[in-house]
Amino acid sequence: MDHQSAAPDEEEVDDLDELNEVLPTTYSITSYGADYPVDGLVKRLNQGDIVVPLFRLEPEAGQSTVGFQREFVWTKPQADHFIESLLLGLPVPGIFLVKESNGKHLVLDGQQRLRTLESFYTGLFQGKEYQLENVQEKWHGQTYKTLHADDRRRLDDSIIHATIVRQDEPTEDQSSIYLIFERLNSGGTFLQPQEIRVALYHGQFATLLSKLNNNESWRLLYGKKSARLKDLELILRFFSLYFYAGKYSRPMKDFLNRNMASNRALAKHDCNELTALFEATISVIHSAIGTRAFRLKNAVNAAILDSIMVGIASRLAAGPITAQDQIKAAYVTLLAKSDYLNATGRATADEESVKTRLRLAKEAFAAVP
């Protein structure tokens, strides 16, 4: 099992590295180039013809690719240096846009540059007047409106090259767009698998996962909320393995993708069923085993989490538990089994490992009256 390093505000999770799992998918993509003057790009941004698809924004009519971009993160010096490069006539990196069926273009790569231009032209940077500071002396203190006419004209007429892409196949989703973004993202922080799923399969199931993620017992068991949606992914993983473990085959990433997509509108398992299943399972684990139920050491162990949850849920499906005090003993006995530790400690995405740990967990808790 790979140890995923976490940001200071993220819980550490021992899990397979899904980013390295390869999905057997082939795409047909059309791409072409276009050169835009800077003032034309800013005009299109202001008119809403070019859109930054943020996580928090709902898709518009005719928009099939939804939020995958985070908020603006450039510092003032970074923004100033970009404006200065254009004023100096230096070449700047191109941008990538997605052509949508409604005629609009979504920003696939280049958000920070376009947002900087928008801020400079409107005269506001993060709520304050945008005056150039980290630049050559002749432009220090200048705003777009106070620039010399020659400088303003040079900036307006600067050309930024855009690569425009459109997915032709497959037609049922825009999955290639997210994979392209994952590779293009110049910020150095790649999208995590669940972030892509929430955008790709937005709908009632994604909304329910977010709601369940606020469950008090779950928060005590998992820990701090994950900005990268790892906690939501583990709830999805529980549902997927509980209902469809018999159909599991690696890669885990594709297994979770298929299950998120298949119940996108809660047509296979509705809100009440999933909520009751999750809340009952988490309540028993929290009260009978305790807040460290998913941790061998400090980090949350994803394989222990999925198997313990499936084991307890399977026991609850057989009827109420009358001897909760025996659950902890069954848990301790389970964690002492070498076969179980092997199945939760390495190669955790292998079919045999998944099958073994789920079987052992179900057997352990099935004996609890």
Which pair of structure tokens corresponds to residue 168?
A: 């032709």
Mean pLDDT of 230-248: 96
Long-range contact list for 224-228, CB < 8 A, 24+ apart? 224/9, 224/10, 224/11, 226/10, 226/11, 227/7, 227/9, 227/10, 228/10, 228/192, 228/194, 228/195
CA–CA distance, 79 with 58 (Å, rounded to integer): 27
Residue 283 has pLDDT above 80, yes or no: yes
Residue 2 has pLDDT above 80, yes or no: no
CA–CA distance, 302 with 295 (Å, rounded to integer): 9
Let me know if 344 is exposed, middle or buried by CB neighbors in 10 A (0-12, 13-18, 19+): buried
* Amino acid identity for residue 316 in this structure: L
CA–CA distance, 293 with 314 (Å, rounded to integer): 17
For residue 170, say if its preceding peptide bond is cis, omega within 30 degrees of 0: yes
Residue 105 has pLDDT above 90, yes or no: no
pLDDT at 54: 64
List 161's β-bridge partners, or say none. Answer: 35
Task: Say which residues have a Cβ less than 8 Å from residue 92's Cβ, sequence separation at least 6.
Answer: 82, 85, 86, 113, 158, 160
Which pair of structure tokens corresponds to residue 342?
A: 């092997």
Q: Quick one: pLDDT band at residue 5, thresholds 50, 70, 90?
A: very low
Mean pLDDT of 80-93: 95
Question: Considering the entire predicted model, what is its pTM?
Answer: 0.68
User: What are the pLDDT digits (tens) for 21-53?
Assistant: 766 666 677 889 999 999 999 999 999 899 877
Among 19-33, 62-76, 267-281, the range of highest mean pLDDT = 267-281
